Amino acid sequence: MTKHLIKNGRVLTPEGTQSCDVRIEDGKIVELAPGLSPEGARVLDAAGCWVLPGLVDIHCHLREPGFEHKEDIASGTAAAARGGFTSICCMANTNPVNDNAVVTEFIRKKALQAGPIRVYPIAAVTKGLKGEELTEVGDLLDAGAVALSDDGKSVKNAHRMRLALSYAKRFGMTIISHPEDEDLVNGGVMNEGHWSTALGMPGTTRVAEESIIARDCMLAELEDTKIHIAHVSTAGGAEIIRWAKKRGGKVTCETAPHYLYATDAWVEGYDACTKVNPPLRTEDDRRALIEALKDGTIDCIATDHAPHHEDEKNVEYALAAPGISGFETALSICWTSLVVPGHLRPEALFNLLTAAPAKILGLDAGSLELGKSADVTVFDPEASWTVNPGEFVSRGKNTPFAGKTLTGLVSHTFAQGILAYGNSHAD
């Protein structure tokens, strides 16, 4: 295996930020110190760059099996690497659904064949995502599932959700809640408010999200077990989670980069790439989410990478599939919307994308430690670039950020000591 030496970077170590070099041998981090000699390693000069733990995403969609026209595991992991992600957790809404050990094992096998990016399957809470019969949690855990979620759908029956939480607790598994009351959505395609009225579009009330957040937090407290709330998008949702945490609830949550940058005003023009679930919210919501990140109410940032074929977006807004292809823009969007304006220090942002999500699901990732797997991301904070979805390596080119100029860019990604993205560096 090729030896690598990353020199002159600003390195985010467990002890804090250091100006030092990183030596990689046999897929491991073997030395962290300034002024290291090459000793036969391929050298990457990271002057002016941050050298981070490989990013961790606990909410994405790789589409395989069944929807390979949108994405497959090979293209999805390549896109993850381009975005700096080395450990990713994929949701169960495939075809067939990942509700049994055979599908879980298939995903893991395909990921190993695809390359060094680690893929952790998230299995379904209920069989077929139908919200009825619970899956066999023990079998799924043994097959390699790291969490449970019917993401894309909420477990509609509250009693069944309670049973699922109790059942998952016995195995130490976390349920990830997709907070959405489908009855309250009632055909809505964007946030209900000024812009839905102005554009003549059916709106989705924020209560559709917030009511399920409240329900699932209370059920988890009742069962004294963990719950993780996916893609929080509203000020009210963040406030409910803040309340649940103050009560001692074992609740964690995430938001996604697009809720920190874009708003429902972006729907003007009817670009179907702005259609996402939950929908883009208001500027007040966006600011409230940033405050919730700052005070620790929101625990981490996850991409909710949701690639689609162009034919599924190049239709009337109401008919378009919801979702954004997010791997390749996530870190830059977060840097542009959070660090550049001064809302977060760089180290705080990096934690939200590395150690924090890894801790939520108990993954051995998200930290540059001696002897650990060499999962390393090199990030240039000064680079300015314009988003061109035609350059995405993901099969999904669906992004509302096309043409936007962002600050900060991943230059290299190492996964398990292998250069997974970036130009080969000179000796």
Catalytic residue numbers? 304
Amino acid at 384: S
What is the rounded distance in angstroms from the CA atom of residue 33 to the CA atom of residue 28? 15
Token pair of 24 as six digits? 């990689």
DSSP state of 122: E
Residues 6+ apart with CB under 8 A from 174: 147, 148, 168, 226, 227, 228, 360, 361
Token pair of 15 as six digits? 């002890």
Q: CA-CA-CA-CA torsion for 124, 128, 132, 134, nearest 10 degrees?
A: -40
Residues 6+ apart with CB under 8 A from 333: 257, 258, 260, 261, 401, 406
What is the rounded distance in angstroms from the CA atom of residue 221 to the CA atom of residue 251? 9
DSSP state of 415: E
What is the rounded distance in angstroms from the CA atom of residue 160 to the CA atom of residue 298? 26
Q: Please identify which residue in the block is written with the tokens 């729907």.
A: 267
What is the rounded distance in angstroms from the CA atom of residue 163 to the CA atom of residue 125? 10
Backbone angles phi, psi at 37, to 5 degrees: -85, 150
Backbone angles phi, psi at 235, to 5 degrees: -60, -40
**Alpha carbon 302 to chain centroid, angstroms:** 2
DSSP state of 174: P
Task: Tell me whether residue 17 is exposed, middle or buried, using C-beta atoms within 10 angstroms of its C-beta: 0 to 12, 13 to 18, 19 or more.
Answer: middle
From residue 47, alpha-carbon distances to 14, 21, 380 in Å are 20, 10, 9
Residue among 398, 233, 276, 269 at smallest CA distance from 327: 398
The runs of H, that is alpha helices, within 154-280 are 158-170, 182-185, 194-199, 207-223, 235-246, 257-261
Contact between 84 and 55 (Cβ < 8 Å): yes
What is the rounded distance in angstroms from the CA atom of residue 243 to the CA atom of residue 195? 29
